[in-house]
Each structure stands twice: as structure tokens, then as C-alpha cells.
A and B are shown apart, each in its own frame.
Chain A
Amino acid sequence: MPDMTPLPGQTIYVAPTDGTPLEETGTVDTSAPPEGQWKEAWKQLRSNWIFWVSAVLLVIIFIVVLFPGLFTDINPRQAQLSRSLEGPSADHWFGFDRQGYDVFSRVVYGARASVTVGILTMLFVTVVGLLTGAVAGFYGKWVDTAISRVADIFFAIPLILGAIVLLSTLNNVWSNRGYWGGVLAVVLVLAVFGWPQMTRIARGAVLEIKSLEFIDAARAIGATKRSNLWRHVIPNSLAPVIVTATVSLGVYIVAEATLSFLGIGLPPSVVSWGNDIAAAQSQVRSGNNLHVLFFPAGALAITVLSFMLLGDAVRDALDPKAKKS
């Protein structure tokens, strides 16, 4: 037992009550409007300058994709061989390429193919990946084993290598497929090799969510497994899926350009940045007239960068844990 006479500095001290008024425990602050998770994420996104930079760039890119006619009157397929490889001028800002096409016009019209491939692939991959991943993670057991192993097999095949094999086969059986056929073929091939990544992300998120107590609580009120999956598990697993989807959009655009560059992506009849970069190859070797390469490549880089920046900002908003300090 301690000495009952207190030492200096340890005498009984009672703070005046007015200094620290006692608050009722369990009061609710109702001054601010209610905030759900999405609203909070939007608030965070709004305060991030990276988001605004990418948003402005993407808005411009989308206008170019939807209304290329607003930016140029020149037909991208109208060749003026006499002006082949002419450099940039006041009338033709980006100059002419080897075929005598106007480079500016080709850059503007080429945006559509790249962005369409990127977005469609992302949609395919997200839907397939989210569904397979959620089912695998939620039902577990043999369903999980089956889906996961199939995903592993596809994951093990390098994207570009697999795409080359698939597309060259496709070219033999379906060579004349036009604009949308060409785009669709590239989208499908990229999606075939892209979905396992999303499956893994979704499966991981679902595994984490399904062990939480509110899932048990929902079962205890009599909710069926399937309604649990749709109402609670999937909505709560969306954040990492959305983040991965935005970041990978840029990757798919690059992949399309790579395939087109290799000559097996979009058919040459389609105006696309990848095809134009491929056509500029010879100029790279000679080292002259680099504007033919520079402008489509620059447009590609800016577009990919915008999507990547958006992905970064979305990740910061949705998944504060992954934020770099």
C-alpha cells in the first residue's frame, strides 16, 4: 500500500468543471449532411489536382473521339502524294506523312480506335473478371478451384505473345472484317488474356468482405446466399475493381498500339495511332522527318497518361490504404 500522504505534485487535483464540460456520450452530430462512401470518395477526388488535370485532358480526348469533324475538315484517307513527308506548316500543323496524308487529321481520327479499344476491353474484362472473381471467392470450394486454375492458365500466357498467336489465326479465318470487326477482334483478344487479373483482384476483395460480420447478420435474417452476394458482397468489393479498371485502361490502349504496330492489330484500313506509328518505322530508321512518328506517338502518350493519372486519383480516393505517403 502506498504512503497516504501525497508527494509534491501528486496532491489531489480536480479540474474545474467549466473547463471541461461533460458531454453526453452517444450524441450524433447532425450538422453536416450525411455522407456515404461514394460521396466521401468524390469529395476526396474533387480536392485532388491530379484528378482535375486528367479530367480536363480526358474531356478534350472524348470530344475528339466523338466529334473529330470539329477539329479538321481534311479527310484522313485523302492522299496527296505530291506533299509526301512535307514538314509542319501553318496550314498543316503536323505536316504530311509518306503517303501524303495530313498527320493532324490522322491523329484526330485515330483517337477513336484507340479509345474505343481501351474502353471496350476494360468493360469486358471488368464484367467477366468481377463475376468470375466474386463467384469464386464467395462460393469457394470446387467452384473457386475451377475458376482460379483456369484463370491461372490464362495468366501464365504472356499477353502480347498470346495475342499474336490468336490474331494471326483470326486473320486467316476472318481476314476482311472492316472497322468494327477489326476493333472487336482486338478487344476480344485483349479481354481473353486480361480477365484473370481482374478475377484475382475481385476474388481477393470478396474473400475479405465475406468474412465480415454483416454478412453473417444478413444470413441470420434469412437472406439467401445469392441475395447476399448481390446486395452486400459485390457492392463492397467494387472499390479495388474500379481502381484496377481505370489504371488498366491505359495499359489496354498501349497493347492495342503495340499489336497494330506489329501489323496484327487493327487492319491497315482503320485509322489508328498504332498503325501510323508502324508506318513511321522507316522514318525512324533514316532519322529524317521524325514528325511523322512524333505526333501519333505523342497523342498516344498523352491519352495513356491521362487514364493513368485518373487511375491514380481514383485509387487515392477509394483506397486510402494504398496511398503513397
Chain B
Amino acid sequence: MICPSCSFEFDPSRGLQCPRCGEAIDCSEIGCANCDACNDVFQQVTRRIRSKS
């Protein structure tokens, strides 16, 4: 995943915070097509719901 703030490419499976600039990536800011943090569609849905709450 490429951080939308500092463009650093990092592995989202370790967490959705950019390790370089510290930006916490929100599912509402970056679509699933640009991110491979989730293992399956259930995790995608769960994470999206959490990001909205």
C-alpha cells in the first residue's frame, strides 16, 4: 500500500498506520482496490464498518 500522505509503500497486513509518517489510513480514504490489508471479504466488511463507527 502507498501511504496517501508521504507516498511510502508499506505492507498493510502489519497495520494500517504508515510506519514512516505515522498517518493512520482510514478505509473510507483508500479503497479495497488499493489495499491488501484484509485476508478475505468478511474482514474487508468488518474493517469498513469499524472505520465508519
Q: Do A and B bind? A: no
Q: List chain A positions with a Cβ less than 8 A from chain B.
A: none
Q: List chain B positions with a Cβ less than 8 A from chain A.
A: none
